Structure 1
Amino acid sequence: MNDIGLTHVALQASDIDRSLAFYARYAAMQVVHSRTDAESGRRVVWLSDKTRPFVIVLIEADAVTTVLRPFAHLGVGCRSREEVDRLCAEARSEGSLISGPTDSAYPVGYWAFLRDPDGHTLELSYGQEVGLTVERA
């Protein structure tokens, strides 16, 4: 079976292990594939939350030259407002909370922006109902 539709987003990462820890903690993602690229000698890791066929590809780089940052971001839905609050408190204590949480009502919901170790932006949200909107379309 061939993959169809949006399958991944690729980001540069200067320290793969720090990025793995960040995405495991804040997005419940785990490594589903890891290799060293034969041509470049760079480490490449695929992360998934295993809820759908989609991965974040982290590609090792000496310096991150392109950063996904506000307003460009990755979005992760959380189980509750309390989970958003808990993760934001952790991010605040680690210095990685950019903004929020903010309640923007339906359809945007309750959300916050976090900064990963390389400056890429991760949005945590509750109440956006992306899945329901796609099903209804």
Structure 2
Amino acid sequence: MSAPRIHIVTLGVSDLPQSRRFYEAWGWRASSASNENIVFLKGGAAVLALYGRDALAEDALAEDLPTGFPAVTLARNASSKEEVDRWFAAALAAGARELKTPQEAFWGGYSGYLADPDGHLWEFAFNPYFVFDEHGNLALPD
């Protein structure tokens, strides 16, 4: 059996064109597989997809119950504190809302949080204990 992987993370969004502009301004590149109903953004080993929130709930046969706090964060790990600060500034310039300014973290690293236009939470972090492989993927110990 192969190792578990996440191939696509799909975010339900209220305004697909606005969300596409936001993520593209932040540096993501849309795939030509995108169309007027879904946007696929290339992100290394995984893909970030943007899909209408109502359509996503309908497709999953789930009731849309916004809770205020989504209880999920997406994280991007940097190779330095300075890189965290650059990413954070770029996301804010693209229209993100700051939640927690990047700062020293209790666990020995450096991180900050922001929200995209739909409130999806992102953490940008530098963890001095993490290493990356030759492809830029996080290489956790076994």
| Matching residue of 2:115 | 115
| Matching residue of 2:60 | none
Q: Which amino acid aligns with 2:52?
A: E
| Matching residue of 2:98 | 97
Change (3 A) 1:23 1:95: closer
Aligned residues: 124
Residues 43-81 of structure 1, C-alpha deviations (whole Å, 9 max, x = no match): 11111223x1x1112112469946695642111123431
Report % sequence identity.
28
TM superposition score normalised by structure 2: 0.66
Structure 1: unaligned runs, 5 residues or longer: 37-42
8 Å contact from structure 2 (residues 99, 115) kept in 1: yes
Structure 2: unaligned runs, 5 residues or longer: 58-63, 132-137
| Matching residue of 1:22 | 22
8 Å contact from structure 1 (residues 69, 120) kept in 2: no
| Matching residue of 1:34 | 34
Residues 57-113 of structure 1, C-alpha deviations (whole Å, 9 max, x = no match): 211246994669564211112343123223434528956111121212656x21111
Instruction: Quote the Cα distance in structure 2 between the aligned partners of 1:47 and 1:95.
Output: 17
Change (3 A) 1:31 1:8: same
Instruction: Give the RMSD, CA atoms, in angstroms.
Output: 3.4
